[in-house]
């Protein structure tokens, strides 16, 4: 297992962010992972070969993620850690306090990426929050800063009123909602796209659509592996979950095949342009 783990670590591409650091293109998310199970789950993920962990204050498991990192034996500098500003702290303006409580909970000394979890536009505080994020980047306690669930108007306000372009934008992104207009904007401004729920969060059956099934059959892979491979070849950073070690391994075993141009195009054709989850303008 140890040798296989090292091989898997080496296979995951790293993408350079506009603020200088590099992020593994495939990560491991802990959204809705019970805090009581989080440490064991994350230790399994690190043992399997993941080196990119995605949590948030709102997931209530930052401390357990940090404990897993310390217990794993993997050097801290080899692990890319993302966490996010909780909405109520954003709304109250307690950005600095929230960030340092996250650092304390994780116990990692710094975070590799800190995100505004939602723009909450009706509160109109994401610009002021971002200015404080710029301070975390400047002092090195956040190696990169970015946003989550931001639409083009939110990104344009940051561009007009602040100094640092977000490193990435973590959004709903999967074959049924491919975010083409947003991605075109972000590509033009050097903002990387990161997919939460890259497999659709169970909102559609992975084997429901012929282009996915056909590609899976052609390559001897599962529908989930085909979708993750679609993300990788599109340049998306993807953070699937894994309920078991078997799922964790399966999600990593996507670097020994490539989808053809025709297969990519067919999967692209599944895009409806319709969200399956919450609209960022409705979360306030």
In 10 A of CB 164, how many CB atoms?
A: 18
pLDDT score at 243: 74
pLDDT score at 71: 97
Please report, for the chain, the start and end positions of each structural domain, with discontinuous segments joined by +.
Answer: 2-271
Rounded CA gap, 136 and 2, in Å?
36
pLDDT score at 32: 86
237-274 burial, b at 16+ Cβ within 10 Å, e below that, comes to bbbbbbeeeeebbbbbebbeeebeeebbebbeebeeee
In CATH, the architecture of 2-271 is Alpha-Beta Barrel (3.20)
50 in catalytic set: no
Tens digits of per-residue pLDDT, 148-188? Answer: 999 999 999 999 999 999 999 999 999 999 999 999 999 99
pLDDT score at 6: 52
Residues of the chain with pLDDT under 50: 1-4
116 DSSP assignment: E
Query: Which of 125, 148, 118 is CA-nearest to residue 54?
Result: 148
Among candidate residues 50, 59, 110, 185, the one labeled active-site is: 59
Rounded CA gap, 69 and 46, in Å?
8
């Amino acid at each position: 297992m140890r040798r296989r783990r090292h091989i898997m670590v080496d296979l995951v591409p790293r993408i350079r962010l506009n603020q200088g650091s590099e992020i593994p293109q495939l990560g491991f998310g802990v959204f809705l992972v019970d805090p009581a199970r989080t440490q064991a789950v994350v230790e399994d993920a690190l043992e399997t070969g993941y080196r990119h962990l995605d949590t948030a204050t709102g997931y209530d498991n930052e401390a357990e993620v940090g404990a897993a990192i310390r217990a794993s034996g993997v050097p801290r500098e080899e692990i890319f850690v993302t966490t996010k500003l909780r909405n109520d702290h954003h709304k109250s303006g307690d950005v600095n306090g929230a960030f340092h409580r996250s650092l304390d909970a994780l116990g990692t000394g710094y975070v590799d990426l800190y995100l505004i979890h939602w723009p909450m536009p009706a509160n109109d505080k994401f610009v002021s929050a971002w200015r404080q994020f710029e301070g975390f980047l400047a002092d090195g306690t956040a190696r990169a800063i970015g946003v989550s669930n931001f639409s083009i108007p939110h990104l344009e306000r940051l561009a007009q009123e602040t100094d640092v372009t977000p490193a990435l934008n973590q959004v709903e992104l999967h074959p049924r909602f491919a975010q083409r207009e947003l991605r075109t904007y972000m590509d033009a401004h050097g903002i990387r796209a990161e997919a939460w729920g890259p497999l659709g969060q169970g909102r559609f059956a992975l084997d429901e659509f012929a282009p996915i099934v056909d590609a899976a059959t052609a390559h001897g892979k599962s529908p989930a592996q085909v979708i993750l491979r679609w993300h990788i070849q599109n340049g998306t950073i993807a953070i699937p979950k894994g309920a078991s070690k078997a799922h964790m391994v399966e999600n990593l075993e996507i670097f020994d095949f490539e989808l053809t141009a025709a297969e990519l195009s067919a999967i692209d054709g599944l895009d409806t342009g319709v969200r399956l989850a919450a609209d960022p303008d409705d979360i306030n």
